[in-house]
Amino acid sequence: MHFLYLALFILSVKALPHRCTRGQAVPAAPLTPSQTPSNATLGCSVNQTSWQFDHKNHANVTLGDRSFLVHIPTAYCPTLPHALVVSFHGYKANDVRQELITGFSAAGLTLNGRGIVAVYPNGQFGPGKNGNEIIRAWQGAPYSPPGVDDIAFTQQMVQLLSDNLCLDSNRFYASGKSNGGGFTNLLACTPATAELFAAFAPVSAALYAGANPADCNPGRSVPIINFHGLADKIIPFDGQAADSQGRTEYATPNITQYREAWADRNGCADLPPDAGPSLGIFASVSHPYTQTTVKTSNCSEKSRDAVVSGFTVDNLGHFWPSTLGLDSGGVPAPFNATEDGILPFFDAHAFGSA
């Protein structure tokens, strides 16, 4: 009789749907529509993905003639929706380099209390600045490959990710450095992708006219956090009318004016004269780290989704800020942009939140 009870107990346990425990990832049992979280994408309602992840939780995925690197957290749970962070590399860089300098794949990072699915796409090969090179680049730059629609590629990539992984569709985020930062800005300016990603983080962004269009009209208030160094000689903080060779297609805006334009676009207004010191459209100015000034738009009380936050770093060059100097040859920045700025900002912004 005892063996009969034991057998029944084992069968009942096997019949239970898989559950994820802390630090454990398990294959997903199929979910019925009523079990699928309302903010989850299709990947939460299908069996475990066929993508092959290595011992470091990486998978290289091909989409047409393009590829992207996917990293899932150690505690990835295929029945619980996870936030997605897509990070676009800079000119001449690639997916592996972007993962290294940003640290979005680092152990222990979370959004909304769960590990992050971090994705690093590869740009298409283009002619480069000299016109006779073969270098990866993103749409919006003078050197980007002609005729390539990176916005459509991004939409297709996110759909493929959603089909294969359990993602929280309210918490998709876009970030990028330099040329990838400019493309991140273009995604924020484009209605279809402004509605796809909840918030954006351009770092040392190359804001050429193609990446920062004068008719930027996202169709909603867009949360943006931006980082730029005063010692950036590639994309000067004060802007430039042309590059060193006099090419006007390489003109870029003053970063302060760029931030103000986003705040204005989001419906922010200058503070009234009786509100105190004249801060213009930014209600908050702080210095949380040495040689660092952070200005935040005064829309935070009006609308959480209208926030524009700008980090200006005195001695920072054309780099992704890191205390380990991962992007600057070992020269440290006074803070980590990813952990200290971007992830807290992303965590505060999600579609459907109050």
Closest CA to 256 of 237, 272, 242: 237
Q: What is the reported pLDDT for 42?
A: 84
> What is the phi/psi pair of residue 337, to 5°?
-60, -40
Is 270 a member of any domain? yes
Count of Cβ atoms closer than 10 Å to residue 140 Cβ: 27
pLDDT tens-digit profile of 332-352?
Answer: 999 999 999 999 999 999 998
Is 125 a member of any domain? yes
Does 206 have pLDDT greater than 80? yes
Is 84 a member of any domain? yes
Q: Are 157 and 121 in contact (CB under 8 A)?
A: yes
Is 354 a member of any domain? no
Chain centre distance of CA 52: 24
pTM of the model: 0.89
CATH number at residue 260: 3.40.50.1820
Q: Are 99 and 117 in contact (CB under 8 A)?
A: no
pLDDT tens-digit profile of 119-177?
Answer: 999 999 999 999 999 999 999 999 999 999 999 999 999 999 999 999 999 999 999 99
| CA–CA dist 308, 280 (Å, integer) | 13
27: confidence class by pLDDT, cuts 50, 70, 90: very low
Tokens of 138: 């993103």
Q: What is the reported pLDDT for 5?
A: 44
Q: What is the reported pLDDT for 43?
A: 87
Q: Which domain holds residue 275?
A: 37-347
How much is the average pLDDT of 14-40? 46
Q: Are 178 and 204 in contact (CB under 8 A)?
A: yes
Tokens of 177: 């450095």
Does 255 have pLDDT greater than 80? yes
Give Cα separations from 42 to 38, 71, 73, 92 (angstroms): 10, 18, 19, 34
Is 11 a member of any domain? no
Is 106 a member of any domain? yes
How much is the average pLDDT of 323-338? 96
Report the SS3 class of residue 303: coil
Does 14 have pLDDT greater than 50? no
Q: What is the reported pLDDT for 28?
A: 37
Domains contained in the chain, number: 1
pLDDT tens-digit profile of 79-116?
Answer: 999 999 999 999 999 999 999 999 999 999 999 999 99
Does 354 have pLDDT greater than 70? no
